[in-house]
Amino acid sequence: MKFLPKPKAPVSMDAGISQGTEIVGSVVVFLGIGFGIDKWLGTTPVFMICLVLFAVVAQFVKMYYVYNSAMRHLEEKRAKDGRGVQS
């Protein structure tokens, strides 16, 4: 008797935590580098702002490509398994 659906595989939170840590870490590193350059050159926080914006944009671009790659892989897997194909 198959009244109950199959249980889904447990979802790992490791990928989300590591991606979040990577985003925060890169922003903090570029913030520190920008602060150091601004302090060294005696400028207003121009380099700090520019490098933080660069880090944020770079992380979102990376996240976009990683997400698209993962979705493409899952679509290929579903097509191979024959799921999601309409008759």
pLDDT in tens, 73-82: 988 888 888 7
Domain count, the chain: 1
Locate 42 and state its tokens. 């005696």
Asked if residue 56 is part of any domain, the answer here is yes
pLDDT in tens, 11-60: 566 778 888 899 999 999 999 999 999 999 999 999 999 999 999 999 99
**Structural domain of 63:** 21-81
| Cα-Cα-Cα-Cα dihedral sign, residues 37, 43, 46, 48 | positive
**Long-range contact set of residues 63-70: C-beta below 8 Å, sequence gap at least 24:** 63/19, 63/23, 66/19
Asked if residue 13 is part of any domain, the answer here is no
Asked if residue 31 is part of any domain, the answer here is yes
